[in-house]
Amino acid sequence: MDKNVEFVCVYVSLLQPQEVEYVNSEYGKNAVRILYVRREGKVHCIKELAISVHIRLNTVCEYFIADNSKVIPTDTIKNTIEALAKCNGIRTIEEFGLDICEHFIKTFCHVVYCNAFIQEVPWQRLEKDNTPHAHAFLYSSEGIRFCEVERAQDKPPIVFSGIKNLKLMKTTQSGFQGFLKERYTTLPERIDRVLSVETLIKWCYGECLDGLDYDSIWRTAHESILDAFAGPPETGHYSPSYQKTVNCIQTYILERIPQIEEVEVILSNIHYSATNLEKLGISNDKEVRITFPWSSKLQYLLLWIAHWEEWDHLIQI
C-alpha cells in the first residue's frame, strides 16, 4: 500500500431522471505516517502514528461544474498534519486529533466537518535491570491504541478512544452450556474450554473534554479489559459465554472510568480443539490442541452499552 492514500466519498440520491442530489461528500488523506521524537536532554520520547483525515465542504461545485476554487488539496492536508505535529507537538493522539480538527474547522470557514482517525504504534521503552533506556524502544503486544475525533462547524468535538488487535487467552474457567438446540445443532455443551479472543474495543467520552487525562484513562481501560477477561491471578473467574465476557469488559470500564459514556466491544473468537492422537497410540488429555489461521475471522460478537441507567432499562425490556 502507498504511504499516503487519497480518499473521496460521494453519496448520490436519485431524484428524477438526469437530476441528482449530493447527499454527502467528503474526501481526505489516509495513512499519513509520522514519527515524532521529543528530546528531553538525553532521554527521547516517541510517537509513531498513522493518521487519516477527512473533510467535508459546504459546496459541491467541484463535482457539478468542475470548480476547484474551494478544494483543499489532499497534499495540503498531509502537509498540515506534519506541520501541526512540529508546531504543537504530540502529547496524546486524542489531543492531536482535536488539534487537527480545530485547525481545519477554524481556518477554513467552508469546511463544515472534519474527521481524524489516528492509530499509534505500540512502542515501549526498553529496560535493563529495571533501568529505562534513554532512546531504545521495543514493539509491544499490548494492542494498538487508536482514536477518532469528529468536529462540525458550530458544534463541540466528539472524541472516541480505543484499543484493537489485543489478543487474550485463558486455558480454563470458560464454558458454554444451556444454549438453544434444534435439528441443525451439532455443537456439544462444554464445561471447560480454552477461551481465546482478538479484541476491538471503542469508547466515547461525554461533551466535557476539558482536563481529561487520555493516557491515564487508556491505561485504566486496558487494565480493566485484562481484569474482566482473566479475573484474580490465583483463581480467575468463570466465563459462561463470549457474550457474558463482552458485557463484563464493558461494565468494568464504565464502573472504573466515569468520564466514559459508552463502550463498544467486538470479540473475534479463536478456536482451539484437542487433536486426536489415539491413532498414534498416545493419550491426549487436551494438552495438545490445534487451531486454524482463519478461525478468528469467522465468528465475532458485538455489544455497545451506555451507562447503568440506560443499561438497566434495556434489561427490563
pTM reported for the whole predicted model:
0.87
What's at 13, amino acid-wise?
S
Q: Which three cell numbers stand for residue 200?
A: 476491538
Residue 275 annotated as part of some ligand binding site: no
Residue 256 annotated as part of some ligand binding site: no
| Residue 13's pLDDT band (cuts 50, 70, 90) | low
Q: Which three cell numbers stand for residue 169?
A: 487467552
* pLDDT digits 0-9 by tens, 72-105: 999 999 999 999 999 999 999 999 999 999 999 9
* pLDDT digits 0-9 by tens, 20-56: 777 788 999 999 999 999 999 999 999 999 999 999 9
Inter-CA distances, 41 with 45, 59, 69, 135, 239, Å:
10, 48, 46, 11, 49
Residue 269 annotated as part of some ligand binding site: yes
* Nearest-angstrom CA–CA distance, 3 and 9: 20
* Nearest-angstrom CA–CA distance, 133 and 125: 6
Place of cell 494498538: 144
What are the residue numbers of the active site? Answer: 29, 74, 271
